[in-house]
Amino acid sequence: MKVKEGDRVLLIDEKGKKFLVRVEKGKTLSTHYGIIELEKLIGADFGDFTYTHNKRGKFYIVEPVIPDLMMKVKRETQIIYPKDAAIIIMWLGIKEGSRVIEIGTGSGSMTIALANAVGENGKVYSYDRNEKFQKNAIKNVENAGLIDRVEFKIRQAHEGFDEKEVDAVFIDLPSPWEALDPAVVALKGGGRLGVLSPTCNQIETMSVKMKERGFIDITSFEILLRHMLPRKGMTRPLERMVSHTGYLLFGIKTSIRLPE
């Protein structure tokens, strides 16, 4: 496959450092080795390589995958990492054609993962109360080429959602319970609710409230991802890791039982 004008391309240097760029005429990428004229990439094969203007830097031309797009968003908030997004999508049963509500859009990292998973026939409805954050997220999702699959809305969690009978709701808020009753109303019977929270206290409070509202199969866990250093005769874990992002919590909606 050949690189076209407008493509998002990952350039990887010989030490493994990654640069996500859009291939546009007249645009350049400055690296500590030198400059790359991005126009030069048009017509190159993915998997091929290019050099900086002074030939000091060699960069492989690679098609980015969803984790690259998530990790390279411009951050205005904490973001959801691919290790968590992957399992969230699996546990929420999100597939081609799914309709999903997300609240906190944040920087749009999770929005990118969700929009990719729902496919061309699905929809993500992404809510946040902060207009500045959401504007930045919109740009990030646009850059990922997935904007057509997302509707963004400015809203406080407790004010509720516009959609009904959605397949799944995902909550990433400091007070996830603010979105719980709105989620109950919006979810279809048997729909899945997912939450990511950084502390155990949030998970405990939320799980009790989910139980009160008739959710079943309530389960919580965290994902620890430890990278390895694969080398001949010396393969071992890397010394450093992202040891904590958040705890995950899931449940299935059975019937609407909002508190009196």
Q: Out of 157, 184, 210, 249, point to the residue binding ligand SAM (CB under 6 A).
A: 157
Stretch 56-85 residues interacting with ligand SAM (CB under 6 A): 77-80
Residues with Cβ < 8 Å from 192, sequence gap 6 or more? 91, 92, 93, 167, 168, 169, 250, 251, 252, 253
Work out whether 108 is an interface residue with ligand SAM (CB under 6 A).
yes
* Residue closer to ligand SAM, measured from CB, 79 or 193: 79
Spatial separation of the C-alpha atoms in residues 65 and 72, rounded to whole Å: 11
Work out whether 167 is an interface residue with ligand SAM (CB under 6 A).
no
* Residue closer to ligand SAM, measured from CB, 3 or 115: 115
Least distance (Å) between residue 98 CB and ligand SAM: 17
Least distance (Å) between residue 110 CB and ligand SAM: 4
Q: Which region, judged by CB under 6 A, interacts with ligand SAM, from 1-9, 27-35, 105-113, 205-213?
A: 105-113
> Burial code of 65-89, b = ≥16 C-beta within 10 A, e = fewer?
ebbbbbebbeebbebbbbebbbbbb
* Residue closer to ligand SAM, measured from CB, 52 or 77: 77
Contact 50, 100 (CB under 8 A): no
Q: Out of 173, 180, 187, 203, point to the residue binding ligand SAM (CB under 6 A).
A: 173
58 — alpha (psi -120 to 50), left (phi > 0) or beta? beta
153 — alpha (psi -120 to 50), left (phi > 0) or beta? beta
Q: Out of 21, 38, 72, 133, point to the residue binding ligand SAM (CB under 6 A).
A: 133
Work out whether 130 is an interface residue with ligand SAM (CB under 6 A).
yes
Work out whether 246 is an interface residue with ligand SAM (CB under 6 A).
no
The alpha carbon of 59 is separated from its chain's Cα centroid by a whole number of angstroms, namely 26
Work out whether 106 is an interface residue with ligand SAM (CB under 6 A).
yes
Which residues sit at the interface with ligand SAM, rule CB under 6 A?
77-80, 103-110, 128-130, 133, 156-157, 172-174, 178
